[in-house]
Each structure stands twice: as C-alpha cells, then as structure tokens.
Amino acid sequence: MPVNFAASFDRRNLLRGGGALGIAAFLPRTAAAASLKVPVVDALTLTVLTDSGTFGPFLSDLDLPGLKVMRAGNGMPQGNSRMSDKTLMGEFGLSVLADSKIGPAQRRVLVDFGYTAEVLANNMALLGIDPASIDASVLSHGHLDHYGGFAGVFGGDAQRERLLPLYVGGEETFCERVAMIGNPPPVMGTLDRSALRKAGYEVRIAPDPQLVADQAFTTGIIPLETEERAAIPTRMRPGVGCDQTSLREDKRGQSEVADDGEHELATCYAVNGLGLVVIASCSHRGVLNSVRRAQVISGMTKVHMVIGGFHLVRPRTAEEAQQTVDAFAAMNPDYIVPMHCTGEVFIEEALRRFPGKIIRPYVGTRLQMG
C-alpha cells in the first residue's frame, strides 16, 4: 500500500508546529551513510535537448549568482543572414546533456533520450552537438518518453566500434508497461535490448549509486524517505521484455503488477562552491526523495539546482504539488528548473512564492554553473 502523503504530511507538520517541512527533513542522517566517494566538479553546463516547449528568439540570457542562463532561440547559429528553415522542436519527453569539468578533464553525459529519435536528432544537430563527444549515458527509467529517442543519437544501425555506456537502475527498465491514461489503457511497449545494442549502447545495470564518466553520480534505487509516495501512471508486466528471475521476488510470476519505480534513477553532480545539482528526470519516486538520496550519497546538504520533471500531476494531486512547494521553500535550493511532467500547479505556486529561483527551461537552454 502506498503511504498516504497528505495524511503523513499533516501529522508531521503538526508535530513540527510549522507550515512547511523543517530543513532537518533534508539533512543526511549520517555522513557514514554516504556510499560513494563523490567527485566535486569545477564547472557544469546543462543543455536542454528535449522538453515540452520552445520559445523562439525573444528571451534574454541571464547572468545570476552561480548561474548563467543562455537561450538558444530557434536554434539558428549566430551570424546567419537568412532565417533557417529548421527550428528546435519540443515534445512530451525529456533529454538533458551535461558537460562537466575537473581541472583539464572534461566529460559529457547524456541523460535520457526524449520520446522520438527525430526530435532528439534535430535538436542535437541544430545545437551543434557531436554524438561522438558523449562519454556515457543514463536512462532514468523505462518509460517511452525517456527512452523512445535513443536512436536519435547515432542512428538505429550505428555499427559503432565503441559502444556508449548506458546506465539503468534495474532489469525492470526492460519490462513491458501499460499506461494508465485511457480506456482501455494503451500498451506503452518495451525497451528492446538488441535495438539498443544496434544503436550503439552497452547496457550497464546499476541499482546502487554509480559514478558515471568519473564526474557524475546516479542515486541508485531511491528510498521513500520523505512524505512523498511513489506515484507512477503505469503498470508493469514481469517477464515481457525482461527477465523476471532478476526482478524483486514479489514481482515474479505475476502477469501484471503496479509500477513502483524501484529502478528509477536521478543523475547528480557536486559542483565546487555551489552544491548539489540533481537531475530528477521524472521523479516517480518523488523529487524530494531524489534530492535526499543525493544528499545522503554525497554527504553534502547544500542544493544548488533541482532540474527535471517532478511529476506533480496525476496520480499525484494538486495538494501534493502545493506541499512540494512548501518542501522546496524549506530545502531552499538556489534554483529550480521545472520541466516535462512537473505540472502547472507547482510551477504557478513556485513562481508566486520564489520567482527568483525558478528558471523556465525551453529547448536549447544552457545552464552554466561554476
């Protein structure tokens, strides 16, 4: 049974005697709980490759404390004398490129692939991103709007000599899913391992926190340690597309089970002098749980940026979205970048409460830190 988020939130709030979650809720329990030596990067730039919206050429760049925001307009290179007949494209999906640096060592990590290969390939080409420059990739979870575009990087038949490492959080990434979004609920499909290999990826299943390309780290399985519940709008079919003997015991031998997002990962960085940057992707285990996990692993409490889809839409409620805004007020990250499935309730309320912290992503936006 999922925890009743609203009930537990109210009870704990009463105990604390406050309207918002106490900051103690976000502190790692012990430094000893950290299970990975997390590298501290000197600089990090995130580029939004796929998200819902584009904005065109009218948004200004921003120079903020600890963050430069650079807009990409239509994606047309500077200095062109004619407008391009191509433009950046938005879709229901998420993909973020992370460029980090420690001293002279630069690393490039691709987090998720969006929904379609066409959009990812189009946006990468317009933004001038050479696929061969990517060192590693992470797939946050086995949903089509995050893996569907994987062939957009090297093509569907890449025949690469060097396969790109692709970190996933568990075997259940590959199980067939049914989306609870219609009547009858449509089959979402499966992520095909042989198609991944053909498209140039080498799958690495990593349910524990994992260093990625020496400079990033994944959360591994995200425990439900805050008031947030797991909220996933899919059901999973053990044994269809995945090896059910590799799944948790209670999920084996069943034709269909509720999805609990056990395999879902966040991808994170520790940035020198600024704090943690957490790329939450879709937050089906909860964006607060994801941040907390990054804090425990790294032993760092300061959060510089939380970016991604926070999934504060159904099956979560508007009340839960409001409560998450309260929790962000207590966490006090420097910046929040709500993408993809975050939902309007959170965005509107967060803009009202702390407008200076909210950065709207838009496809092609680059967020430069350090």
Which positions touch Fe ion (CB under 5 A)?
145, 282, 341
CB of 340 to Fe ion, least distance (A): 6
C-beta closer to Fe ion: residue 131 or 343: 343
Cα dihedral sign, 328-329-335-339: positive
**Which residue has its beta carbon closest to Fe ion?**
282
Q: How many residues does the chain have?
A: 370
C-beta closer to Fe ion: residue 342 or 365: 342
Neighbouring CB atoms inside 10 A of 34's CB total 16
CB of 209 to Fe ion, least distance (A): 22
C-beta closer to Fe ion: residue 147 or 167: 147
> CA 219 to CA 296: how far, in whole Å?
9
For residue 241, which of 99, 144, 363 has the smallest C-alpha distance?
144
Cα end-to-end distance, the chain, whole Å: 43
C-beta closer to Fe ion: residue 38 or 222: 222
**Residue ranges with strand state E in the chain:** 40-41, 43-50, 62-64, 67-70, 95-102, 105-111, 136-138, 164-168, 176-179, 187-189, 201-205, 210-212, 216-218, 234-237, 257-258, 267-271, 275-281, 303-309, 335-339, 366-369
The DSSP symbol for 40 reads E
C-beta closer to Fe ion: residue 145 or 334: 145
Contact between 223 and 208 under an 8 Å Cβ cutoff? The reply is: no
CB of 149 to Fe ion, least distance (A): 12
CB of 279 to Fe ion, least distance (A): 13
C-beta closer to Fe ion: residue 28 or 261: 261
C-beta closer to Fe ion: residue 51 or 334: 51
C-beta closer to Fe ion: residue 266 or 282: 282
C-beta closer to Fe ion: residue 282 or 297: 282
For residue 307, which of 325, 343, 280 has the smallest C-alpha distance?
280
Starting at the earlier edge strand, list the strands of the sheet with 136-138.
Answer: 62-64, 67-70, 366-369, 43-50, 95-102, 105-111, 136-138, 164-168, 201-205
CB of 243 to Fe ion, least distance (A): 24
SS3 content of the chain, % helix, strand, coil (to 5): 25, 25, 50
CB of 308 to Fe ion, least distance (A): 9
CB of 331 to Fe ion, least distance (A): 22
> CA 295 to CA 282: how far, in whole Å?
18
CB of 16 to Fe ion, least distance (A): 32
Contact between 174 and 141 under an 8 Å Cβ cutoff? The reply is: no
CB of 5 to Fe ion, least distance (A): 19
